[in-house]
Amino acid sequence: MMGHARRATTAVALAVAAAITMTACGGGDGKKEDGKSSASPRSSVQATKGGGGADSPSPSPTQVLAQIKGESDMLVTINSAVRDSGGFVTVEGTVTNNGQSVFSANLWVGEETALSHSGASVAGAVLVDEAGKKRYYVLRDTDGRCLCTMGLVGIEPKETRPFFAQFPSPPESTTSVEFELPTMPPAKISISEG
């Protein structure tokens, strides 16, 4: 009986997320009046579909907020960090394997046991508001999986894959945060308004 109720609750949550996503998908070319691309937050439906890696939209390649070079010659490029009116910040970018061997993001999920359901992902990412002295962790769905790109396994040498991670929004007065990913150095990024 308890399993049925949980599945029903999950189904309702996914249906609501799908309805919100469909409502947010209006016409247009995704450009604001000033010519910059607008980004919309990703729903848990996208984050959990088929591992998430292939379903993540690719961010605008023209803007680079930060690049992080780390273990195994991996390069993380952050292209956008957009705050929406719903109280979320969505960070988007790419992961590039500049190494000589296949890479899987098993260590990027972080050490928290509850996030192990997210598998090889960016679930361990954190936004740090140094001025406000707060840390913002990747949001999760009702099953404990991150609202982020999952399935970051088997990344071949010279291969690039898109990623996203959604966080609770720091206060509007906070426009600069530090993006941290396990095993990688931190990077300062600016939050734009969506």
Strands 192-193 and 74-83: parallel
Per-residue pLDDT tens listing for the chain (194 residues): 444 444 444 443 444 343 333 333 333 444 334 443 334 444 333 333 334 444 444 444 579 999 999 988 999 999 999 999 899 999 999 999 999 999 999 999 888 777 777 889 999 999 999 988 999 999 999 888 999 999 999 999 999 999 999 999 999 999 999 999 999 999 999 999 98
3-state secondary structure 140-182: ECCCCCECECECCCCECCCCEEEEEEEEECCCCCCCEEEEECC
Predicted TM-score of the model (pTM): 0.69
How far, in Å, are 108, 117, 144, 153, 155 from residue 120 at the CA level? Answer: 7, 9, 14, 6, 11
